[in-house]
Amino acid sequence: MEIVRVVAPPLRLACPASRRGRKGRPPCPSSLPGYGHPGPRHDHAVKRPGGGGDAAGGRSVNGAAPAPAEAPTKAPQRRQRSGPHDVEDEAWGLLRESVVHYCGSPVGTIAACDPNDASPLNYDQVFIRDFVPSGVAFLLKGDYEIVRNFILHTLQLQSWEKTMDCHSPGQGLMPASFKVRVVPLDGDDDVTEEVLDPDFGEAAIGRVAPVDSGLWWIILLRAYGKCSGDLSVQERIDVQTGIKMILKLCLADGFDMFPTLLVTDGSCMIDRRMGIHGHPLEIQALFYSALLCAREMLTPEDGSADLIRALNSRLIALSFHIREYYWLDKRKLNEIYRYKTEEYSYDAVNKFNIYPDQIPPWLVEWIPPKGGYFIGNLQPAHMDFRFFSLGNLWSIVSSLATSHQSDAILDLVEAKWSDLVADMPMKICYPAFEDQEWKFITGSDPKNTAWSYHNGGSWPTLLWQLTVACIKMNRSEIAAKAVEVAERRIANDKWPEYYDTKRARFIGKQSRLFQTWTIAGFLVAKQLLENPDKSRILWNNEDEEILNAMNRMTDASNLKRRRGRKGLKKTYIV
C-alpha cells in the first residue's frame, strides 16, 4: 500500500531570518572547569562531524558555546529544602529550565541541564523517548502547547532524508533526537536562522536506528488528545499519514515466524550492547500499546481498511504469543525444568526447543512462590530470563498482560523490593552481567559494568511507569512507597540519570546530574498519585475482541490440535 505524505517535505526546517540572534530560553551554564566528563548517553545521537553547534556552522539554541576559561559561569545556588513541596517546586523549576524553543515556541526538553557540565555532548538534544515523561508532566499540569508543538515538529522530521553508507531505512522512521541550531543565513554572520537538526541513528555510536521513537510518539499523541480534549491534532491529514507510515514500517512482512518485532541491540531505552537483540520485551510492550493507540486514533476511510485488518490480526497474535510464551512463574519454571528437547511435531510442548540447562542458578532461588513476570526475550533455543522493568510495567499499562499476570508482576516487585527498588527505584534490569558474561555479551563495555547504567543500574525515571501500572491495578500504595524512597535523596543528589551498585547506593559513575527525565518522571509520579484518574490518558483497557479471540486460541492450544484439522473460524499466526 503506497502512502503519500500530503505536506511539503521539510528539507530545511528553519525560522525566518533574524538579526536578533537566538530565541528562547537562556542556555544552561556549562563552563565550570575541573568537572569530569562522562561519555555520551543515548548513543543514538552524538555531535555530527563538521556540524557541531560550537563550530563555524552555527551555535545551538539548546546549549551555549562554552564560556572562556578565565570567566567561568557560577553555578546557581539552590535553597535549603524543608519538605516534599519544596522538592516538587524545585523539580518544576528545573523542568521549565530544560525547555527548548524553536521560532519562539517551546518544542521539547533537553536531556540534561547540569550547570557544572562544560561538555554536554549529546545531552543538550531533545530525545523522543526522554521527552515523553516531560510531555506527560506538562499535560497533567495543563500546559498543552509544548506537547502539541513537539508532536507536529517531530512529525515533519519523519520524512527527512536519512541514509547511511548509501542505504536508506524504511519510510516512517522517527528520529532518536533533534537539536535546534542557530546558523548564519547565506554566509552572513549578522543574519541567522534557527534550524532543526535530527538524528535517525546515522550519527549514533553503533549506528542503531531508534525503533521505540515512533511507538512513543503514537502513545504521546493519544495522551495529548485524551488530556487536552483537542482531537484536531490527531485528525489532521499529515498526522494520520504519519501514524500510517509508522504502522506500515512495523507491520511490514519479513522472514520472521513470530508476531513480535525483530530488532537489533541498542534500539530502545537500553541503547548499548546488552544482549537484547531479537524480540526484547520492552519493544513488544510498546508495540502493542502503540497498535492499540493507533487503532483508536485512525479515522475510518477506504484506504485504511487493509491496514486496520493487519493491525487487528497482529494485536491478537502478539498478545497470545507474549502471554503464552514469555510468561514465567514458579509453576512455569518447573515446567521448563522438565522440558523434553528435540520435539519434531506440530503439538510440541517445548516449541522453541529450550534446553533446561539454560535455567540460571540465580533464578531457581530468586523466583517467589507468589508472583511472576515476562522474560526479557525469546528466540529459538534461547530464553533471556532477566527481569526488565520497563517491559513488564508497560505490559501492565497496555493490557498486554492479563489482569492475573499484571497482579503477579506487582506481587514480584513487592516480594523482591530489596533487589528491584532498594535505596532508589528502579532497576532497569535484574540481575547484572558479571565477569566473563559481561565481557562476552557487552563486548567489555566500560560503561555497562555490573550494577551500573543499563547493566543492572537503577533509573529514577522508571517511577512514572511504575506509578501508572500500580494505579491501573488499584495498588497505588506500591508506587507511593517507591516515591517516598526516591524523595529522601533524589533532590539532594541533584537528580541523577541513574544509580550504581546492587542496592543503588551510589550516584552512577558516569551519571549526568539534573537529568530531565529523572525530574519529569518524579513529577508525573507525584501528580498521578494526587489525581489517579488522570493516569487513564496512558493506559489501554483490555479489548473485548482480543480477549474473545485469545480464549478461543487458548482452548485450541490446550487441545493441541494438529495442522490440517478443522480449526478456528479465523486463523491467526502465533
Q: Give pLDDT tens digits for 408-417.
A: 999 999 999 9
pLDDT digits (tens, 9 = 90+) for 512-523: 999 999 999 999
What 3-state DSSP class applies to 309? helix
In the predicted model, what is the mean pLDDT of the chain? 84
pLDDT digits (tens, 9 = 90+) for 530-556: 999 999 999 999 888 888 877 777 676
Whole-number pLDDT of residue 185 = 84
| Res 256 pLDDT > 50 | yes
What's the mean pLDDT in 503-510? 97
Give the residue from 483, 522, 479, 518 showing the smallest Cα distance to 497: 518
Does residue 46 lie in a domain region?
no
User: Which three cell numbers, joined as nine digits, stand for 567?
Assistant: 480449526
pTM: predicted TM-score of the whole model, two decimal places: 0.85
Give the residue from 183, 191, 184, 189 showing the smallest Cα distance to 53: 183
User: Which three cell numbers, joined as nine digits, stand for 434?
Assistant: 558479571
pLDDT digits (tens, 9 = 90+) for 443-452: 999 999 999 9
pLDDT digits (tens, 9 = 90+) for 137-170: 999 999 999 999 999 999 999 865 666 555 666 6
Higher pLDDT, 41 or 511: 511
| Res 274 pLDDT > 60 | yes
Does residue 169 lie in a domain region?
no
Residue 229 domain boundaries: 106-163+174-557
Q: Which residues pair with 112 in a beta bridge?
A: 515
Q: Cβ(417)–Cβ(387) under 8 Å?
A: no
Name the pLDDT band for 303 (thresholds 50, 70, 90): confident
Separation CA 241–CA 6 (nearest Å): 8
User: Which whole-number Å values give the CA distances from 557 to 32, 332, 347, 367, 383, in the listed order?
Assistant: 63, 16, 8, 26, 21
Does residue 520 lie in a domain region?
yes
pLDDT digits (tens, 9 = 90+) for 329-362: 999 999 999 999 998 888 889 999 999 999 999 9
Q: What percent of the chain has pLDDT over 70?
A: 79
| Res 566 pLDDT > 60 | no
Does residue 68 lie in a domain region?
no
Does residue 168 lie in a domain region?
no
Q: How many domains is the chain partitioned into structurally?
A: 1
pLDDT digits (tens, 9 = 90+) for 24-69: 333 443 332 332 334 444 444 333 333 333 333 333 455 433 333 3
| Res 242 pLDDT > 80 | yes
| Res 558 pLDDT > 80 | no
Whole-number pLDDT of residue 546 = 81
Helix (H) or strand (E) run with residue 429 in it: strand 429-430
Name the pLDDT band for 557 (thresholds 50, 70, 90): low
Whole-number pLDDT of residue 514 = 97
Does residue 6 lie in a domain region?
no
What's the mean pLDDT in 100-106? 95
User: Which three cell numbers, joined as nine digits, stand for 44?
Assistant: 543514538
Q: Which residues pair with 263 in a beta bridge?
A: 278
Name the pLDDT band for 73 (thresholds 50, 70, 90): very low
Separation CA 488–CA 182 (nearest Å): 40
| Res 3 pLDDT > 70 | no
Number of H helices, E strands in the chain: 18, 12
CATH code of the domain in which 502 resides: 1.50.10.10
What's the mean pLDDT in 380-407? 97
Type of residue numbered 476: S
Does residue 13 lie in a domain region?
no
Does residue 1 lie in a domain region?
no
Separation CA 331–CA 341 (nearest Å): 19
Whole-number pLDDT of residue 262 = 94
